[in-house]
């Protein structure tokens, strides 16, 4: 699914240099394209990814030492062991990582099909396919996007078995720790979002099961701690890799800490502007498109809470519903008209937020017209709480890694998908399902 759409959207084959993040992917492909043997790579290059020789940000010239570089180690080992043609192998590798990402999406679809129904699952699939940022990341050999969403997807897939006592909670924690460890070996980017993504499904299922706040906080804490343990284990392995390569413990400590502090809340030695969180947030609100890729579809739904939360408290009735729906439509027209009259291509994020408020209001009005009593849907409130927690989780990287956010405006909008965006897609699907009579696909259930 993702592979097919990415191929057609960018009008490029898997063997072409990607239009998105080709510079990052080159860290991996340079390694595959060299004639250095596996053992010589470990001895001469430490197993790290290959940076450009003239890269001024590389602490060790020609090497990218900011991570273990597991993706490069695995792909390079396969290529050299089987003596494959590097050009063809790189193309097939892009296909493989895209299919692995699609497999994670399938896991989420299967889980939502069992829990919410077929309309929710179909809506989720459609919104993922239309999310060009997800598609762009899906086949990149540096980002190996499936590792970003593994803890999130596996959480939805297996936590129902924890609820049913068919899998021990300790086993679940071990799995999450291992998945975060795997992601960290391929880079530490967005790691707070990745490990908190594993808590979204448990928050939903525990609330649905009647868990109270102290119990819920305890569960989120232990899952987060398991993720942090996986991260630190990868960090220790990274340090050990550096030490074995350069044989200097102080220099290894410097290398592993310098980049981390430079990309988070420490002093930023790079040229990108980090003039404060408020200014940084405004920059992301003004982003229109990057590399020709339109702004994430998730922004259309960012203000869904504004329109939906009142439904939990009251139902205004059919007549008032018509007025509310009309006002929502008026807001949507205003949001579209702002840029149309300004003569600017595309719609900025600030306009999309206004659009999302209008869209939420329209749905609010329609639900009121049809006299949908939201409180009768036991799954909806837990899902809304989980989605709100997903929004908070998505913002953690924005808060903790401000330097990284400032230096990578071209790609970091992905954080709003991880885990918020994909959770919103589930939320929207369930709202649509409610509108169409809460149709269930009862043939699929966890056995």
pLDDT higher than threshold 90 for residue 361: no
Q: How far apart are the first and last CA of the chain?
A: 27
Average pLDDT, the chain: 81
Q: What are phi and psi for residue 289, nearest 5 degrees?
A: -155, 150
Specify the higher pLDDT residue, 259 or 119: 119
Cα 222 to Cα 172, 197, 202, 225, 228: the distances in Å are 10, 13, 11, 5, 10
Give the model's confidence band at 437: pLDDT under 50 very low, under 70 low, under 90 confident, else very high: low
92 three-state secondary structure: helix
pLDDT of res. 286: 62
Establish if 132 belongs to a structural domain: no
pLDDT of res. 157: 96
- Interval 279-293 mean pLDDT: 61
Give the model's confidence band at 309: pLDDT under 50 very low, under 70 low, under 90 confident, else very high: low
- Interval 18-24 mean pLDDT: 81
pLDDT for 327-336, tens place per residue? 888 877 776 6
Specify the higher pLDDT residue, 75 or 370: 75
* Class of residue 335 by CB neighbours under 10 A (exposed 0-12, middle 13-18, buried 19+): buried
Lowest mean pLDDT among 22-31, 93-102, 343-352: 343-352
pLDDT of res. 197: 97
81 CB contacts (<8 Å, ≥6 apart)?
38
Specify the higher pLDDT residue, 384 or 310: 384
Give the model's confidence band at 240: pLDDT under 50 very low, under 70 low, under 90 confident, else very high: very high
139 three-state secondary structure: coil
pLDDT higher than threshold 90 for residue 161: yes
Lowest mean pLDDT among 268-277, 299-308, 407-416, 422-431: 299-308
* Class of residue 295 by CB neighbours under 10 A (exposed 0-12, middle 13-18, buried 19+): buried
Specify the higher pLDDT residue, 315 or 165: 165
pLDDT for 51-60, tens place per residue? 887 664 557 8
Establish if 419 belongs to a structural domain: yes
Specify the higher pLDDT residue, 332 or 239: 239
Establish if 23 belongs to a structural domain: no
Closest CA to 297 of 417, 125, 407: 417
Specify the higher pLDDT residue, 300 or 243: 243
State how far the Cα of 298 lies from the Cα of 359, in Å rounded to an integer.
Answer: 13
Report the run of H or E that residue 284 belongs to, with start and end: helix 277-286
CB 436 within 8 A of CB 314: no
Establish if 94 belongs to a structural domain: no
pLDDT of res. 279: 77
Give the model's confidence band at 143: pLDDT under 50 very low, under 70 low, under 90 confident, else very high: very high
Establish if 242 belongs to a structural domain: no
Specify the higher pLDDT residue, 323 or 207: 207
pLDDT of res. 353: 63
Number of structural domains found in the chain: 1
pLDDT higher than threshold 70 for residue 174: yes
Q: For residue 311, what are its two tokens?
A: 């439904």
State how far the Cα of 227 lies from the Cα of 199, in Å rounded to an integer.
Answer: 10
pLDDT of res. 283: 72
State how far the Cα of 232 lies from the Cα of 7, in Å rounded to an integer.
Answer: 36
Please state, as a whole number, how many other Cβ atoms lie within 10 Å of the Cβ of residue 185: 22
Q: Which residue range(s) make up the domain with 391?
A: 277-435
- Interval 80-88 mean pLDDT: 91
Q: Output the CA torsion sign for 386, 389, 391, 394.
A: negative
Establish if 345 belongs to a structural domain: yes
Establish if 127 belongs to a structural domain: no
pLDDT of res. 305: 52
Give the model's confidence band at 447: pLDDT under 50 very low, under 70 low, under 90 confident, else very high: very low
pTM attached to this predicted model = 0.83
Lowest mean pLDDT among 6-20, 117-131, 205-219: 6-20
Closest CA to 150 of 191, 125, 183: 183
Q: For residue 222, what are its two tokens?
A: 């232990």
Max CA distance (Å), the chain: 76
pLDDT of res. 434: 77
Establish if 10 belongs to a structural domain: no
State how far the Cα of 155 lies from the Cα of 196, in Å rounded to an integer.
Answer: 11
49 three-state secondary structure: strand
- Interval 303-309 mean pLDDT: 50
Give the model's confidence band at 271: pLDDT under 50 very low, under 70 low, under 90 confident, else very high: low
């Amino acid at each position: 699914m993702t592979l097919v759409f990415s191929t057609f959207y960018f009008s490029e084959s898997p063997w072409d240099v990607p239009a998105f993040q080709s510079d990052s992917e080159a860290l991996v492909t340079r390694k595959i394209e060299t004639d250095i043997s596996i053992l010589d790579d470990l001895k001469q290059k430490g197993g790290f990814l290959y940076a450009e020789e003239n890269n001024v940000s590389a602490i060790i010239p020609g090497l990218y030492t900011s991570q273990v570089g597991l993706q490069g180690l695995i792909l390079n080992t396969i290529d050299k062991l089987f003596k494959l043609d590097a050009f063809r192998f790189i193309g097939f590798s892009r296909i493989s990582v895209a299919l692995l990402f699609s497999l994670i999406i399938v896991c989420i679809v299967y889980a939502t099909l069992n829990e919410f129904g077929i309309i929710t699952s179909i809506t989720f699939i459609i919104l993922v396919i239309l999310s060009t940022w997800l598609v762009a990341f899906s086949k990149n050999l540096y980002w190996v996007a499936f590792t970003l969403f593994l803890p999130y997807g596996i959480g939805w897939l297996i936590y129902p078995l924890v609820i049913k006592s068919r899998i021990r909670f300790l086993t679940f924690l071990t799995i999450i720790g291992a998945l975060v460890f795997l992601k960290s070996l391929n880079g530490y980017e967005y790691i707070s979002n990745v490990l908190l993504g594993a808590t979204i499904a448990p928050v939903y299922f525990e609330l649905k099961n009647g868990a109270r706040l102290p119990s819920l906080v305890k569960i989120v804490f232990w899952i987060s701690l398991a993720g942090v343990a996986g991260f630190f284990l990868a960090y220790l392995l990274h340090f050990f890799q550096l030490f074995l390569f350069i044989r200097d413990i102080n220099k290894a400590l410097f290398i592993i800490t310098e980049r981390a502090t430079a990309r988070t809340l420490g002093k930023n030695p790079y040229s990108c502007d980090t003039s404060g969180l408020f200014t940084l947030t405004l920059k992301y609100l003004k982003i229109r498109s990057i590399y020709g890729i339109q702004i994430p579809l998730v922004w259309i739904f960012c203000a869904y809470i504004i329109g939906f939360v009142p439904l939990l408290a009251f139902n205004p009735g059919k007549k008032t519903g018509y007025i509310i729906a009309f006002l929502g439509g008026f807001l949507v027209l205003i949001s579209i008209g702002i840029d149309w009259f300004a003569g600017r291509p595309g719609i900025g994020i600030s306009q999309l937020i206004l659009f999302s408020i209008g869209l939420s209001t329209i749905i609010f009005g329609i639900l009121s017209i049809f006299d949908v009593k939201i409180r009768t849907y036991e799954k909806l409130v837990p899902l809304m709480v989980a989605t709100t927690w997903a929004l908070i989780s998505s913002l953690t990287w924005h808060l903790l890694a401000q330097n990284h956010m400032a230096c990578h405006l071209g790609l970091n909008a992905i954080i709003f998908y991880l885990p918020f965006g994909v959770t919103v897609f589930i939320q929207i699907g369930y709202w649509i399902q409610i509108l169409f009579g809460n149709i269930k696909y009862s043939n699929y259930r966890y056995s």
